[in-house]
Structure formats: structure tokens, C-alpha cells
Amino acid sequence: MNEKWITTWGNAISITERRPENYAKNLTLRYPITIMLDASAVRITLDNFCGNESVTITSAFLAKSDGANGIVPDTIVPLQFNRNASVTIPAGERIKSDAVSFPIKRGEKLAVSLYFADFTEMRSGVMITGSMSQGYFAVGDQTQAEHLHPDTSKKTHTFYFLSDIEVLTNEKNRTVICFGDSITAQAWPDDLIQRVLKDGDGTTAIIRKAASGTRILRQYDNITYDSYGLKGATRFPREIEVSGADTVIIQHGINDIIHPVGTDVNPFRPWSDLPSAEDLIEGLRFYVKIAREKGLRVYIGTLLPIAGWRTYAEFRETLRNEVNTWIRTTDEIDGCIDFDRALCDPQNPTAFADGFDSGDHLHPSAAAYEKMAETIPSEILHRKEENRC
């Protein structure tokens, strides 16, 4: 069997929320990951893209995971970086580990454990949620502990530094990227993973590249909102550098519409940030251009209902509809995924249908995220012969 490296799990690297305690020392991070492809070897990418200074990972280990904070001790394998147990990653850079033999089956769980002995700026990371997106941190070096001690450990949804897990797998296998903002940083990619594990043909991995608060056209360069992430022109070209990827699903742009309120309301959100529909469409065209250069198929999801959101206004609704019309009708992409029509109230399409609103009138409910995952066409989730990359 011919094999190649395929990304089986992925994460955006953005800016974590700025707090006085954003330095850590003597800290273990442990992340359980569901592997989507049969594989013979593993390597990981650690990324300090948004850091202001170098970070040093003292040690890193892989092991089979129980899906929570536990591991199987006799499966522990140390990771090395250019044959060294410790690695220092300069600000703005990323590094791959050396490959390690680690036979694992589709649907099994792998734990990545990282230890930071000295003071470390915990800036490069992203918060993701969903049924398959939870990690742990612990005081002290607990990288090889069978279970993290309950008195010295805690759950977290912030994934620091870990951006990609690649596996050596059958060359026919491939990856689909889900790119977006908080809606994609929440549950629907996890629901899609579960759908593919249940009904897929075993050739496809689903990965997430999403950061909450992000916009296509702007970013916040102040400490109050810099955790709202990087703009699309900075994020997208870097985040779709994914081994084995042949398709990207984009669900992005609603924050460009809802954020601007004027400096009299919020000094960081001027009306000058409000785009026209043409501006947003050109931003999406930029994504399409970059994706095509990488050889990717491109699917774009329509923007979801926002009626009732705290900045809702008729002009924002008009803008959303104009962008959605382009997404539905353009021949510049491989397909539209109409999340909007799947989730909206048919009698009041500006709002979510009953049961599909999380309560804030912007983010979907758990049931709505499941519906989003169901809405992805099956053709995207199965390998075709021409999908070889």
C-alpha cells in the first residue's frame, strides 16, 4: 500500500483573550483527538503564529486516549523535534515534530500531551467547542500520567499551539477543511466528523480552521478585541496549507456585517468598517482565488439569520441577503451550501426556525449545528478518483 501524509485534525491559530495571567509555568496541556483515518505513523505541528516572543515546549508525548484526560500508559511515545525532546518556537513560526511510528485505527482517540517548564506566553491558540473539542491543563509535569490528578487539573476549550495532526495513511485518503468564525469554532464540524465516522467510506478527514470574532476584511489591533482574531487575508492563505486537502468549506462574513456600530457607541468599531456587499463578495473571491491556487474545491455556506441580535438592523439584513444571493448564484465556486435556508424560519426567514436559535439570535443551537452537518452534500464527504492530490 502506498502511503502519504494527510492532516487528520486541524485547528486555526489565533490570538487568545488578553489577560494579566496569560503567562504559564510548570504546566501540562493534554488534548484528546479523534483520528479519522487508519494510519501507521503520526507527526504534529506546533504553531506560535500570534506570539510576541519565543515559546519552549519542554517535552511532548503521544498516547492512546480514553477520550477524556486519561491515556493508556503502555502506548506512550515521546515526540522529538529534529531529534530533540525540547523545542523552542520563535514568535510567528511553526514547527513539525519528527514522525513516530504509531499504528492507529479510524475512530480511535489519540492524546497529545505538552509540558512547559518555564514561563511561557500563552498567546497563540484558539477556543473551540463541540462534543469532540475539549482539552485539559494541569499543574506540573503530568505528560505521562495515566490520569491527570483531579486536584491539579481542569478542562479547557482553548487549544494552545497545537495546529495540525498528520498521519501516514493510504494515498487515496483526503481532507476537507471547514473555515470560518465562531459558528465554525462551535459544534457543526464536530457533528460533521461524527457523521463521516458513522457513514463515510473511510477515506475522508474533516478538520476545522476557525476563530471566533474574525472578519473577512478587518481585524482589531487593540488589546480589548485582538482575541477576535486575524482578518481573512492573513488567516486564509496560511490556514489552508493542509496536507492532503482537496476541498474547503467556507462559512465566513457575518461579523463584518454585525460589528460596526460607530465610535460614539464603541471606539473600536467605526462605521468605516462596514463593508458593502461588493466588498464582502470581493473578499470571498479572494478566498476562492487562493484556494484554487492550492488546488482546492471551494464550497461556500450562506450567512445565517441574525434577526434579534443586539445590533440587528434592516440595512444589515439587506447586506446579508445580497451576499447570500451571490453565494447561491455564482458559478465561481463548486457549490453553495445553503445553511441559511436550512436553519431559518420559512415564515420569517430573517430569524432562526423554532429550536434552532441558541438564544443570542446569532449562534445556532445544538440541534441547528446538527442540521448544518446534515446539510453538507454527501458528494463532498466521499473521495472521487479525480480528488487525488
Residue 131: is its pLDDT beyond 80?
A: yes
What's the pLDDT band for 385 if we cut at 50, 70, 90? Answer: low
Mean pLDDT of 292-299: 98
- Confidence bin at 384 (pLDDT 50/70/90): low
pLDDT value, residue 21:
82
pTM here?
A: 0.96
Query: In this predicted structure, what is the pLDDT of residue 383?
Result: 74
The span from the CA of 386 to the CA of 389, in Å, is 8
Distance CA 360, CA 163 (A): 29
151 CB-near residues (< 8 Å, 6+ apart): none
C-alpha cell at 271: 462605521
Check: CB of residue 173 under 8 Å from CB of residue 201: no
- 3-state helix, strand, coil split of the chain in percent (to 5) is 25, 35, 45
The 10s digit of each residue's pLDDT in 142-190 is 999 999 999 999 999 999 999 999 999 999 999 999 999 999 999 999 9
Which of 236, 271, 268 minimizes the C-alpha distance to 250? Answer: 236
Task: Give tens-digit pLDDT for 219-247.
Answer: 999 999 999 999 999 999 999 999 999 99
pLDDT at 187: 96
With beta carbons less than 8 A apart as the criterion, state whether 180 and 15 touch: no
Structure confidence by residue, pLDDT tens digits, 61-86? 999 999 899 999 999 999 999 999 99
Report, as an integer, the average pLDDT of 47-68.
97
